[in-house]
A and B are shown apart, each in its own frame.
Chain A
């Protein structure tokens, strides 16, 4: 994927009018920047008891960056309102994506993010890879052999060759002892 101008999937159906990606993005970011500057910075950046110079404040750089986001996103919004960007045709592959495909990806992501310690490197690797293969509708059996082979080989490589420890899975450890 290139970082070139791309359009929201939703808006690609409609004409690029006042509410185009630029004006929406600018609006959202300016609201976020205001929240950041007036709520997050004062409440979540502690100030020290004694400061030699205002430029030394822990809040200085976050505030500077926050103001930059605010001003720039207002500019972006105005730019979008006055001069809507040209609409680009969305990729044909983006339409009509089976919901199951996206759900399976989400589940695989959650498996890794939440259950990595419990399932262990091999366990979560096998499960998530299998789910992602299913999501693409892979049929041949030999491909699913990879699902087992790869996580096992890679985990062993990390642990024994590279000396990088990976979790074995607390779930299996406690089961095996009963």
Chain B
């Protein structure tokens, strides 16, 4: 029991609570600014933590991380500008909901799904860290390869009205993802000797360009429509409605936890897998992509389920799963702490104090999130004639700020035109994004596997984990094909 009091002594300080609150608040606000991401917020806040106590410093960063995850979905829902790649999935149903006058309901659904997923994720971190870390260590290149193959099958369910067009979009995304210096041989691929393209196409300009800019272009390619007042007065979310979605949220959280515990896969994959699963099992399949609250819930649950779980490989193995946790790892090291088994042996009280803070951050997110909804949903009431030019300005500044490069502004606008053409021709942007994210992972892990095995293909079936994902891939494909034929038949009959 003396351990308990030590933990409390370490955790119960005004600084820690302030750090959590400030972190979540900063995260939500920065995440909600188009072009600024949670990653950027964490990176920029890092120098400020140099002089803080270790627990306070890390809680501040974790707070920003969690706040940023939610903040990204606010703009995704309200102005179709995803703050992070993961919230591109939230946008699929969140933005249509907002356009139908249900902005408030969409934002609340996102918030409560996020919070529930966040708590489940935290509990997984606290109670199953060592167990889940073992899974992470068993994930070599062949296991990743099959996980990515399985993830690629979700393209079918986010393809919108036409699976063929969705697959074309995904293939185009894959082609663009190969631009840059080759990861194995260092040869130039599709760079056309342009220096700006050697490090691959920057992600943020692509993301904003693909989703936010087409809305703006479309607005100026049409006559001004009278402004429809919608959001602030829109209906909120009732407990009954949320209870109906709880199953989806919990499933999404678990998907997030598993994906999060495997380093290097990321929140985007989790969000889309969760979304795809929700759509597959929903009785209202056809409403997905047209403003289905359950779609928002699934996406946010998957997305936030990752947040706590990425700390599992970080804390128990010292392996950062994404850029943000890599920065948090840096913060640990700045304060003379080395995450990994040693941390649990030597600084157990500190670890538990961190756990307390991380749990508290979920509750803080409820309050900050609700306040944010109140103020941000005013955006939905600003006429588009005024709102869109200002959104464009934010997007431009944000795109520039990523690499301090005007090239990225041009890139973003070019992707905006592409996204506009996509919209007008019934191609979906989401498969393009998935292709762009998963393409390199597919290739990297295929090649790593081949390099490790020296060309022996049997390595692809080397253990139970590979088989599980092979079966999941096959099942998912079979299901997609069956569903495709059923709908075609229905169409033919109609």
Contact = CB atoms under 8 A, between A and B. Distances in A.
A6 B393 contact: no
A90 B442 CA distance: 40
Interface in A120-150: 121, 124-125, 128-129, 132-133, 135-138, 143, 146, 150
Contacts of B188: 44-46
Contact of B182 (A58, A64, A105, A150): A58
Contacts of A72: 164, 167-168, 171
Nearest to A70: B171
Given A69-B171, A143-B386, A162-B44, A21 B426 contact: yes
B290 A58 contact: no
Given A4-B290, A55-B447, A129 B220 contact: no
Given A56-B450, A68-B171, A48 B425 contact: no
B174 A61 contact: yes
A113 B410 contact: yes
Contacts of B40: 164
A98 B385 CA distance: 15
Contacts of B394: 154
Interface in B373-427: 385-386, 388-390, 392-394, 396-397, 400-401, 404, 406, 409-410, 413, 422-427
A75 B425 contact: no
A177 interface: no
Nearest to A132: B389
A62 B393 contact: no
B222 interface: yes
A166 B401 contact: yes
Contacts, number: 209
A139 to B, nearest CB: 11
B443 A93 contact: no
Given A44-B192, A68-B171, A113-B410, A6 B178 contact: no
Given A5-B162, A66-B175, A112-B409, A25 B393 contact: no
Contacts of A44: 188-192
Contacts of A21: 425-426
A65 B425 contact: no
A28 B164 CA distance: 15
B161 interface: yes
A52 B386 CA distance: 58
Interface residues of A, number: 79
Nearest to A58: B182
Nearest to A136: B385
A163 to B, nearest CB: 5
Nearest to B36: A162
Q: What secondary structure prevails in chain A residues at the interface with B?
A: helix
A149 to B, nearest CB: 10
B168 A132 contact: no
Contact of A58 (B185, B409, B410, B442): B185
A86 B71 CA distance: 40
A93 B442 CA distance: 43
Contact of A121 (B191, B397, B439): B397
Interface string A57-92: 010111011101100110110010000000000010
A64 to B, nearest CB: 8
A21 B421 CA distance: 12
A69 B172 CA distance: 7
Contacts of B220: 101-102, 104-105, 132, 135
Contact of A65 (B171, B225, B393): B171
A96 B223 CA distance: 7
Interface string B187-219: 111111000000000000000000000111110
Given A72-B164, A93-B223, 7 more contacts: A48-B185, A56-B451, A62-B190, A65-B171, A101-B223, A129-B392, A154-B397
13 contacts: A6-B425, A29-B168, A52-B450, A58-B178, A69-B171, A76-B164, A97-B222, A112-B413, A128-B393, A132-B388, A135-B220, A143-B386, A162-B30
Interface of A: 1-6, 8-9, 21, 25, 29, 36, 40, 44-48, 51-53, 55-56, 58, 60-62, 64-66, 68-69, 72-73, 75-76, 79, 91, 93-98, 101-102, 104-105, 108-109, 112-114, 116-117, 121, 124-125, 128-129, 132-133, 135-138, 143, 146, 150-151, 154-155, 158, 162-167
